[in-house]
Structure 1
Amino acid sequence: MEYLAKYITEDIKLSCYEDKFFKSDIMFDQHMLVWFLSGETRIVQAAATYVFGKGDIFLIPRNQLATIINYPKDGQPHKTVVMHLSTERLKDFYANKTIDSGRLKPPGIYSFSNHPLLESCLASLIPYFDMKDIPEDIAAIKITEAISILRTLDRGVDHVLGNFEAPGKINLSDYMEKNFMFNLPMEKFGYLTGRSLTTFKRDFKKAFAMTPQRWLTQKRLQLAHYQLTEKKKRPLDVCYEVGFENLSHFSFAFKKQFGYAPTELLTRRLGN
C-alpha cells in the first residue's frame, strides 16, 4: 500500500491511498471532519454502516469505535482532506458559548453530503498543501470557520464538539456485546468503558468467566459463521468486518473452531 500525505499543520492534511485496499480498526482520539475528493470508504460501527464517496463531507466524533475500509473507485485513488478538531482548539472556541440543552442527539457520524458552505471552506485549503510558506494563522482560521459552519448546519453538534469529558464507567457486558468486532488493544476497551487495564480485565473475567482475547475470538467467529451462512457474504468481506486482521489468520481460526474452512461454505453455495 502506498500512502501519501501532505500537511498544512498536524491538524489539516491531504490524505491519499494509492493501493486498492486499506482497512483499520480505529478509536478516534479527536473529532475528524472529512471531505472526499475521490475513492470510497466504508465505515462500520456497532449500530450502523456508512458508505462515503466523492463529494461527501462527514464528521466523525471522538471516542467512537469503527472499522474503516478504504478503496479506490473509477480509477481514482482514495483521496481526502482531513481536518482534526482538537480538544484544545474546541475548548478555546466554546469558552464563551452556551450549549442549548434541548438539542441532544445520540452519538454517531454526522453526514453533510456535499454542502456548499463546508465544501467551499475545505476546498480553499487545497492550494496551501503545495505552499512552502504558509500563513501562520491559516489553520486556526480555517478550523474556526469549519466549526462555525457545522454549528450553523446542525446546532446539535455542540453536544459533541463541546463535550470534553472522558468516558465514564459504563456497563462492560453491554458495551462489549455491541463492540466486540473492533480489533483494538485492551487498554482502549478499558478507557472507553471507564476502566484501567487491570480493572477492565478483572471486571471482564467476572462478567464472562474467560479472558478477553478468548471471548473476543469466539464472538467474532460466531458472527463470521452467521454472516457466511445466513447473509451469504464473501469470506474476505466477513474477515475484516468481524475484527480479524488478515484472511489467513481468520481461515485458520475458523477451521479450528468449526472443522471446515470458510471457503468451503462458499464452495457449497456455488455448487447448489
Structure 2
Amino acid sequence: MRLIPQRLLNQPFMQQILSDDASYILRKTLSEPALNREGYISKSVLAMVLKGEQKITTYDGNMIHIPAGSMMFIPKGMYSVSDLLSDNKGFENVLFFFDDSITEGFLLGKGVNINPQQTWPEAYRFKNQESVKAYLDALSAIVPKMNVIKEEFVRVKMYELLYLLEALDENFIHFLSHSLLGTPRNIKTFMEANYDKPLKVEDYAYLTGKSISTFRREFKTRFDTTPQKWLMDKRLTKAREMLVSTEISVTQVALETGYENVSHFIKEFKKKYQMTPKQVLIEHQEGLSL
C-alpha cells in the first residue's frame, strides 16, 4: 500500500508547486491511465481535476467520481484511485494536501457544533473551481520568483485556500469538522484486516474513528496488549510465514508486512527469531533442495 502524498513526491509525472514538508500543492500530469492504485491518503486533500476524470473507491466500497471541471475535498483514509484520460488528451489534476495543524487551526475559534446524528458524504464536492484556479494561477506566478519559501508563507497560503472553500460553500466547515473525527469502525475487525499496512498507531486510531487515547484503551481491552506490540508480532509472524512459503525477496516481504524501512524490519525480525530474514530464507531453500 502506498502512502500518499509521500509516494508522489519526486515522481516524474508530478510537479511540486508549493510545500513545507507538511502541506503540499502538487500537479499531476499523465499520458497513460493509472488504474486501481491502493493507497493511504495521510493528509486531507482537495483534488481538482483539470483534464480527464478520477474515480476513487473508499474503504467501504463507495465510489467518488471527480470529472474535469470539478473538485472534491477528501478526508484522510484508505482508497483505491483510478486516473482516466479524456479523449486521449491526457489526465491532469492539482492536489492540495493539508497538514492536520492547518485544518485544526482553521476550525479553531469558529465554534462549529458537530451533530453526531447528522450524516455527511465521504467526500465534499465543489462544482465551481474558478476561484481556486485563480488562486492557483496567482500562486504559480509568484512562487518561481521567490528566492526562499518560508514555512509561514506556505501555512498562510493553505489557510487562504480553506477560506476560499468556505466562501464557495458555507457548509464546508461543518463537513471539515466532521471529517476530522474519522469513521467509527470495529477495532478488532479492522485491525485483523489491516495490520500489514504501513500505518502508525495514530493512523489506525483515526481510521477507526477514535482519539488516540480511546483507541489505545479499547485496544488493550480487546487484545490484552498494546497496539505497538500486537502490530509487531502480527507483522513478523506473517513475514516468517511468507519467507518459508514463497520465493519473494526479503525487501518485498518487508514491504508487504507493513515495513517501509527494510533495515528496521531485519532488526526486529532478528530480535524475535534470533535469525535474520535472509537466514530463514536460505534455510528454507536448502530444505527444499534436499
- Give the TM-score taking structure 1 as reference length: 0.57
Tell me what 2:162 maps to.
Answer: 147
1:127 aligns with 2:120: no
- Equivalent position of 2:79 in the other structure: 66
Match of 1:89 in 2: 102
* Residues 17/134 of structure 1: CA separation in 2 closer, same or farther (3 Å cut): farther
Change (3 A) 1:186 1:92: closer
1:49 aligned residue (47, 60, 63): 63
* Residue identity in the other structure for 2:37: S
Match of 2:14 in 1: 4
What residue in structure 1 maps to residue 91 of structure 2? Answer: 78
C-alpha distance 119-31 of structure 1, shift in aligned 2 (>3 A) = same
Task: Tell me the amino acid that sits aligned with residue 85 of structure 2.
Answer: P
> Unpaired segments of 5 or more residues in structure 1?
204-210, 215-272
> 8 Å contact 1:6–1:129 — kept in the other structure?
no
Distance in structure 2 (CA, Å) of the matches to 1:187 and 1:8? 25
160 and 17 in structure 1: CA distance in 2 versus 1, 3 angstrom threshold: same
Cα-to-partner distance string for 1:138-177 (whole Å, 9 max, x where unaligned)? 5333322221122233333324434696759742477689
User: Which residue in the other structure is 1:113 paired with?
Assistant: 127
Q: What does residue range 1-272 of structure 1 map to in structure 2 within 5 Å? A: 3-10=13-20, 11-45=24-58, 46-62=60-76, 64-101=77-114, 104-128=118-142, 130-131=144-145, 133=147, 136=150, 138-162=153-177, 170-172=185-187, 185=197, 187=199, 190-191=204-205, 192-193=207-208
Aligned equivalents of 2:166 and 2:19: distance in 1? 23
Instruction: Please report how far the alpha carbon of residue 105 of structure 1 lies from its aligned counterpart in structure 2 after TM superposition.
Output: 4.1
Could you say what secondary structure the match of 2:64 adopts?
Answer: strand
Question: Take 1:40 and 1:59, find their aligned partners in 2: how far apart are those partners?
Answer: 15
Note if contact 1:35-1:122 (Cα within 8 Å) is conserved in structure 2: no
Which has the higher relative contact order, 1 or 2, with Cα contacts under 8 A spaced 6 or more apart?
Answer: 1
Instruction: State whether residues 25 and 183 of structure 1, in contact with CA within 8 Å, keep that contact through their aligned partners in structure 2.
Output: no
Structure 1 vs Structure 2 CA RMSD: 4.1
Q: Is the 8 A contact 2:48 2:129 kept in 1?
A: no
Question: CA 1:159/1:38 → structure 2, altered by over 3 Å: closer, same or farther?
Answer: same
Q: Distance in 1 between matches of 2:146 and 2:32?
A: 27
> Partners of 2:220 and 2:65 in 1: how far apart?
36
